[in-house]
Amino acid sequence: MSVDAAEEETVDAELVEDAELGRTVPAARPLVDAHTVLMPGEEIPTSEDPRTTYTERDLYVSEETAQAIKEAEEEGSLQRRTAMRLFEAWCSEQGRVAMPCTTATYTEYGRHLMAKGLKATTIRHYMSLVRTSMPAGKKPDNSLFLLVLAQYRKKNKRALRRKEAFPITLPYLVPMMEKAEADDRPIGWRDSAMLAFGYRFLGRSIEDVDLDLEDLTILDDMLVVWLAEDKSHKGEEQTIYLHDREDLRLVFRMRRWVGYLAEQGIINGPVFREVLRSGKVASSETRLKRGATKRGDNLRPQTVNERVKLWFSAAGLKTDGRPVSSHSLRAGGATDLGTNGATDEELEEAGRWKKGSRIPRERYVRPAKDVSKDHFKRVPMHDPEARAQE
């Protein structure tokens, strides 16, 4: 047999062998990596590319874990949900994918917010909420957005302006509480207790509405509050002693409200709850039927905001141009402390700010002192009659 014939025969034999062994088409492999999380019932995604093959043991989470993840995602923060709702609406209008978004989409949305003339701090806050809402390992690169934002700050000086909340100090707080109690109704009892507590606790509104009855002990002369953590002390529990005073009547107001809850069989769960027009505290079932938020029996921070504004206006009070909000209670307590000689350390401890924080002095104490400062008091009043007699 010739050499050419032998080579031809060998080639033919190799082709037949490949077909018989089925080596012409690679087997599909799972398209997963170490960060893939599958919910019960989901199929394992595959790819024709050879990859490490994970078993179900590596990829699935249990029913309990899946439920915990779902609840955590549904609860989320109100601000995060709002930020994502606005971002998704914009992406829909632009024909872009919102989840997970690309770096280009993320940067373009940041520029969109700048075009609206928003404050730089507001833009950065919303963009941070959008970015952290993206799936793990699929967050967009924010370096281009931050570059554009830095330029925006330079060109738009108004974007740097912060509008601080008007401080509700005691001269404002007391008339508000008295107005809330004027009709002697349960909702007024709740609101006056909420106002007194917010001022004395120096808490953020989310901390106020997340307080549970189990975390609160009412003594004759003080409240003892157990706090699992706060914004400045993640994972660090605290026991806080709120001493009462005659003008605040914190113990009386809190005891009256908590006693009213007990009369309706409520002895655990959120302290501050929705009150119906009938005066009864809304049940979980009632709130669900009315399409209540996923905060369950807890009030929304926005509700505190609305009630503070309501009683400020109802008491006939006026501001110096700064807006009134739920944060005004925290600002008012800090301002009263700072303008009456509290040290930096005392302010930090009372409001649970980080050690060395400049916020209490710069945002609350200094503006209050600046308002009362008048260098022109040195200049004598102009009196034409006195001059004529000289």
Domain range list for the chain? 29-72, 76-160, 170-370
Residues in the chain, overall count:
390
Per-residue pLDDT of the chain (390 residues; tens, 9 = 90+): 444 444 443 333 333 344 444 444 455 566 667 677 778 877 777 655 545 566 777 778 888 998 887 777 666 566 788 899 999 999 999 999 999 999 999 999 999 999 988 888 889 999 999 999 998 889 999 999 999 999 998 888 765 566 778 999 999 999 999 999 999 999 999 999 999 999 999 988 888 999 999 999 999 999 999 988 777 667 778 899 999 999 999 999 999 999 999 999 999 999 999 999 888 998 776 665 655 555 668 888 889 999 999 999 999 999 988 899 999 999 999 999 988 888 888 888 888 887 888 777 777 777 766 767 777 878 888 777 766 676
Sign of torsion, CA 355 357 359 362? positive
Per-residue pLDDT at 170: 96
d(CA 272, CA 302): 13
Cis peptide before 100 (omega within 30 of 0): yes
Pair 106, 140: CB distance under 8 Å:
yes
Which residues does residue 212 pair with via DSSP β-bridges, in sequence order? Answer: 270
The CATH fold of domain 76-160: DNA polymerase; domain 1 (1.10.150)
Give pTM, 2 decimals.
Answer: 0.63
Predicted confidence at residue 20, as pLDDT, reads 42
What integer pLDDT is reported at residue 100 of this predicted model? Answer: 93
Do domains 76-160 and 170-370 share one topology? The answer is no
* Domain covering 170-370: architecture: Orthogonal Bundle (1.10)
| Strand ranges (E), 6-57 | 29-30, 46-47
CB 272 within 8 A of CB 305: no
Question: What's the rounded Cα separation, in Å, for the pair 313 and 333?
Answer: 19
Nearest to 87 by CA among 102, 65, 71: 102
The token pair that represents 21 in the structure block: 């062994």
